């Protein structure tokens, strides 16, 4: 077996090989437990966990435990009401619906908040603006944005309800893919203004 690995690309014949020469900042939308980050780690690609967007609490907790391993109490100076205000409508316990956090115990609120802060989590993609990604110093960093949008409404094993409109507009969970397009459009408009 060869000790050398080379890129095999059937689709870009005659085009220059693309090489990233700047430090990578990874932005994972629909991050889950961080499959894209894990792929980069397995490949030995150095990168910074820059931002994630994930609203499922079990996934946020797992992402921190697997990748970041930051268990700092960022909530120390916040009241229970401030924690509720921050989390309400932005997270889910069942992967489908926003969680009413107003009845959750304070320790649960603090743990959830701390995991969100530790992972640089933007939480609810329907509320994320392009500027929230904080893409700055592009001469110094290479930003890679990945997304694994919910495919349940497209899957043969799922409800097959399609993805015509975003869930924000009354569509399906798979329609959340359109939120990625919205964010990219916002980033392009920002770039054109500069």
Transcribe 124-162 into DSSP letters. -GGG--GGGG----TTT-EEEEEE----TTTSTTS----
> What element of type H or E holds 105?
none
Q: Where are the beta strands (DSSP E) in 22-165?
A: 24-29, 47-53, 142-147
* Residue 151 designated active-site: yes
3-state DSSP call for residue 48? Answer: strand
List C-alpha distances in Å: 123 to 25, 59, 156, 167.
18, 11, 28, 15
Of the candidates 53, 99, 116, 151, the residue annotated as catalytic is 151
Residues acting as catalytic residues: 151
């Amino acid at each position: 077996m060869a000790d050398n690995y080379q890129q095999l690309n059937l689709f870009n014949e005659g085009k220059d090989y693309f090489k990233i020469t700047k430090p990578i900042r990874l932005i994972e939308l629909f991050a889950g437990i961080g499959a894209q980050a894990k792929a980069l780690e397995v490949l030995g690609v150095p990168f910074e966990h820059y931002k994630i967007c994930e609203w499922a609490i079990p996934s946020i907790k797992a992402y921190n435990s697997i990748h970041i391993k930051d268990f700092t109490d960022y909530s120390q100076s916040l009241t229970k009401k401030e924690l509720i205000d921050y989390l309400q409508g932005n997270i889910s316990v069942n992967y489908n619906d926003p969680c009413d956090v107003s009845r959750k115990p304070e320790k649960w609120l603090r743990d959830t908040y701390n995991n969100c802060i530790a992972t640089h989590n933007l939480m609810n993609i329907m509320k994320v603006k392009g500027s929230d990604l904080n893409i700055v110093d592009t001469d110094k960093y290479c930003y890679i944005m990945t997304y694994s949008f919910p495919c349940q409404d497209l899957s043969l094993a799922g409800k097959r309800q399609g993805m015509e409109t975003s869930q924000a507009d009354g569509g399906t969970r798979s329609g959340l893919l359109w939120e990625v397009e919205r964010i990219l459009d916002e980033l392009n408009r920002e770039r054109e203004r500069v």
